Chain A
Amino acid sequence: MFHNSTQRKFWTFETEEEIDKLRENSNAAYRQKFCARNKNVSVDDDNFFITTNEHRVFVRHYEEELKEFCWKFKPPMPLSAIGTAWAYMRRLYLRRSVMHYHPKLMYLVCIWLACKTEEFNISMEQYAQSISDDNEVIKDAILTIELVLIQELNFHLTVHNPFRPLEGFFIDLKTRFPPFSNPDQLREHAKDFLIRSLSTDVTLLFTPSQLSLAALLSAASKCSKNIDRYVTDTLLKGQPQKVLRETIQRIKKIRTILKSANTEKPSQEEIRRIELKLERCYDKSKDPTSQEYTKIQNMLEAEKHERHAKKRKLEIEKRQKIESDLLRF
């Protein structure tokens, strides 16, 4: 299933550099487009535009918001929905800068869409209520941007989360590796590991089963257990040395990235600073909660009105002409 998935084909990358490059490109693209309209700003003005580093911190902050929102949600949201929402956000901000779409709205749209695609069914009424009391505005905004998000994701809605293969490993441990008496003691640690992994790029680099195996091994070492023999003698039994070597290498790589990744919450001051900066440079025409958006809407509405009025006028004129022509005879 994963093998022929859109996740593997379109959202799994070879190297970290490739991923960084995508983020740089989206940042540069936004700057160029912005400068084409505003001649007084220079493309490389890092004091005006959000840098890729700030982008990373800011997205990180909203990932925390996403996590908290999902955690608090009543009824409790399944991990698959949380993981999928998170993946949507990662994918979106890979090819788009936070300046394209302000994450304050997008993280809520990601969760909303993930709840639908993961069959965690809640109504918009219910969803909006858990966001704020002023829910008419937010409701409209989410419904407006939902389709935009779906298109940005290129309709690739299926996310293969690492939580499922993790359960598979527990079943496998219990049935095929009896020397290890109580695999369930690893569950919480492994889950923590996977949740931490969601805020790094490993989800864009490795397969869900590799991630869950890394989580399992990390949890084992945390509990001072050794399940290496499960990997070598059971899981990869009969596989050529090369496969074993590669698997170990990939698992190591996952753990290194996770260790070196800064998964700490960004500081309040830093977020405040980026927020203020973003307020000036983000694309308000794509934010339904902004005044600019309303202005554009009204303009478009007026244009449409005008077009219709013109058409009506032409029709009336045409009719009058026909009638007068008829009268002449």
Chain B
Amino acid sequence: MAKPTESTMDFPFCHDVGKYERITKIGQGTFGEVFKARDRKSGRLVALKKVIMENEKEGFPITALREIKILQLLRHDNVVDLIEICRTKPTQYNRCKGSIYLVFEFCAHDLAGLLSNAVVKFTLGEIKKVMLQLLEGLFYIHRNKILHRDMKAANILITKNGVLKLADFGLARAFSYAKTGHANRYTNRVVTLWYRPPELLLGDRDYGPPIDLWGAGCIMTEMWTRTPVMQGHTEQQQLTLISQLCGSITPQVWPDVEKYELYRKLELPQGQKRKVKERLKAYVKDQYALDLIDKLLSLDPKHRIDSDEALNHDFFWTEPLPCDLLNMLSQHKTSMFEYLAPPRKPSNAHSSGHHHHPRHQPAGPARQQPTDPAYDRIF
């Protein structure tokens, strides 16, 4: 994008999306459809993400504004790269209904797609490489004061060369540490239900990076179980599932948990023992892996391991060391995306129609359109 000195009546920088040839639909992001496409000139493959603008009483969606701002700020190997922004031809005359497309580098797979394909096998070293890159990505975005807020396997992309990219910043936002006496008031209606940490389920609105690390813990477990570990249908049920795995939510393991209003309002299973290691050891044979998962799935966000500590965990520094994914991926010639894959767990086709991944989305309200605009607009 050169600095144009000539002023023309067209938008000087914004290309028409026609420069890309659409190949196929590969997914559905938070605020639009995603297509695989090819640059007609260079032949380069890209992903086009359409910004849905209809029925926006508040104009250009703030989530899209955030995604654009955030992606322009972030530059890291493990964060998806925004190439440019394009538009469709009909200009301002069609009352803003002309579409805007975010153009991303194309990644061959997403983690959910890979995991749902039984032919794809990860060695321990390869799993370490996946987690290493995921945590490096999280470390980078958190250091830049960005929360992802939608960690899940489908949002973890992997290029054909085995480079992992955090993607879909449609729910992401900048955060700050609250000043004393001024708690943040972010929306807690973020993160797909199955990956949602207990503090959000209890209604926390002053949260931070630990919410993404809970998701990292769920994804890490999924590397072995191959399917999301806690598939609740409601927030209440999700909390029950969490308690059954991570133990009862009590002030003993989570000081000041009583401050959440929902802590008293919801039915929280009592007397549950923490069984993270015990229940997962059938899948996860490596003791360091079990230990790291245990620390990522800590109920109390203040005690949850952060990305820096996690990267220093013995898991990454004992044999077998993290090992490149290139070799393994080169055996698979086709792209694997959750959107295109058969359901990972047919019993879970309990979703309502407006969900983006009808086959995989939990029935929870994570991605529902805001019903109370005032509420969701704010954050």
Enumerate chain A interface residues (CB-CB to B < 8 A).
1, 4-6, 10, 21-22, 25-26, 28-29, 33, 95-96, 100, 112-113, 116-117, 119, 121, 123-124, 142-148, 150-152, 154-158, 285-286, 296-297, 300
Residues of A within 8 A of B12 (CB): 95, 154
Other than the given A95-B4, A158-B73, 11 more pairs (CB < 8 A) read A25-B5, A25-B7, A95-B7, A100-B9, A112-B59, A123-B373, A123-B374, A124-B59, A146-B59, A147-B59, A147-B92
Residues of B within 8 A of A142 (CB): 59
Residues of B within 8 A of A28 (CB): 7
The number of residues on chain B lying at the interface, defined by a beta carbon within 8 Å of a beta carbon of chain A, is 42
Q: Does B333 contact A (CB under 8 A)?
A: no
Residues of B within 8 A of A26 (CB): 7
A-B contact pairs, 11 of them (CB 8 A): A4-B75, A22-B7, A25-B7, A29-B6, A95-B7, A124-B58, A147-B96, A147-B100, A154-B1, A154-B13, A296-B93
Q: Does B178 contact A (CB under 8 A)?
A: no
Given known A152-B11, A155-B68, contact A144–B75 (CB-CB < 8 A) = no
Given known A123-B58, A124-B59, contact A1–B73 (CB-CB < 8 A) = yes
Residues of A within 8 A of B5 (CB): 21-22, 25
Chain A min CB distance to B177 (Å) = 15
Q: Does B22 contact A (CB under 8 A)?
A: no
Contact mask B160-186 → A, CB, 8 Å, 1/0?
Answer: 000000000000011000000000000
The answer to whether B65 touches A116 (Cβ under 8 A) is yes
Contact mask B59-101 → A, CB, 8 Å, 1/0?
Answer: 1101001001100110100000000010100001111101010
Q: How far is the CA of A31 from the CA of B328 in the complex (A)?
A: 61
Residues of A within 8 A of B87 (CB): 151
The answer to whether A286 touches B92 (Cβ under 8 A) is yes
B7 in complex: contacting residue of A29, A112, A121, A145, CB < 8 Å: A29
The answer to whether A29 touches B1 (Cβ under 8 A) is no
Central interface residue in A4, A123, A151, A157, by most chain B CB within 10 Å: A151
Given known A29-B8, A154-B13, contact A146–B65 (CB-CB < 8 A) = no
B3 in complex: contacting residue of A4, A5, A10, CB < 8 Å: A10
Q: How far is the CA of A16 from the CA of B374 in the complex (A)?
A: 44
Central interface residue in B57, B59, B85, B100, by most chain A CB within 10 Å: B59
Q: Does B377 contact A (CB under 8 A)?
A: yes
What are the nearest 5 A-B pairs in CB distance? A154-B13, A26-B7, A29-B7, A151-B11, A146-B59
Q: How far is the CA of A95 from the CA of B379 in the complex (A)?
A: 33
Within 8 A of A (CB), among B358-376: 373-374
Contact mask B280-303 → A, CB, 8 Å, 1/0?
Answer: 000000000000000000000000
Q: How far is the CA of A119 from the CA of B63 in the complex (A)?
A: 11
The answer to whether B377 touches A121 (Cβ under 8 A) is yes
Q: Does B14 contact A (CB under 8 A)?
A: yes
Q: How far is the CA of A28 from the CA of B8 in the complex (A)?
A: 10
The answer to whether A147 touches B98 (Cβ under 8 A) is yes
Q: How far is the CA of A302 from the CA of B85 in the complex (A)?
A: 31
Residues of A within 8 A of B72 (CB): 6, 155-158
Residues of A within 8 A of B59 (CB): 112, 116, 124, 142-143, 146-147
Chain A min CB distance to B123 (Å) = 37
B9 in complex: contacting residue of A29, A113, A300, CB < 8 Å: A29
Residues of B within 8 A of A113 (CB): 60
Q: How far is the CA of A117 from the CA of B73 in the complex (A)?
A: 14
Residues of B within 8 A of A156 (CB): 72
Q: How far is the CA of A300 from the CA of B92 in the complex (A)?
A: 12
Within 8 A of A (CB), among B184-229: none
Contact mask B119-161 → A, CB, 8 Å, 1/0?
Answer: 0000000000000000000000000100000000000000000
The answer to whether A157 touches B68 (Cβ under 8 A) is yes
Q: How far is the CA of A25 from the CA of B6 in the complex (A)?
A: 7
The answer to whether A147 touches B60 (Cβ under 8 A) is yes
Q: Does B378 contact A (CB under 8 A)?
A: yes
Residues of B within 8 A of A25 (CB): 5-7
Within 8 A of A (CB), among B22-73: 53, 56-60, 62, 65, 68-69, 72-73
Residues of B within 8 A of A143 (CB): 56, 59, 96
A145 in complex: contacting residue of B11, B92, B94, B373, CB < 8 Å: B92
Residues of A within 8 A of B85 (CB): 155
Q: How far is the CA of A4 from the CA of B374 in the complex (A)?
A: 34
Given known A116-B62, A144-B96, A145-B92, contact A157–B69 (CB-CB < 8 A) = yes
Chain B min CB distance to A13 (Å) = 9
The answer to whether A297 touches B93 (Cβ under 8 A) is yes
Q: How far is the CA of A290 from the CA of B142 in the complex (A)?
A: 47
Chain B min CB distance to A25 (Å) = 5
Chain A min CB distance to B25 (Å) = 24
The answer to whether A123 touches B377 (Cβ under 8 A) is yes
A151 in complex: contacting residue of B9, B14, B58, B144, CB < 8 Å: B14
Q: How far is the CA of A143 from the CA of B378 in the complex (A)?
A: 18
Residues of B within 8 A of A100 (CB): 9
Residues of B within 8 A of A96 (CB): 7
Chain B min CB distance to A200 (Å) = 21
Q: How far is the CA of A119 from the CA of B378 in the complex (A)?
A: 8
B96 in complex: contacting residue of A29, A112, A146, A157, CB < 8 Å: A146
Q: How far is the CA of A286 from the CA of B72 in the complex (A)?
A: 29
Residues of B within 8 A of A155 (CB): 14, 68, 72, 85
Residues of A within 8 A of B4 (CB): 95
Which partner residue on chain B sits nearest A94 by CB separation?
Answer: B7
Residues of A within 8 A of B57 (CB): 124
A146 in complex: contacting residue of B9, B60, B94, CB < 8 Å: B60
Chain B min CB distance to A308 (Å) = 15
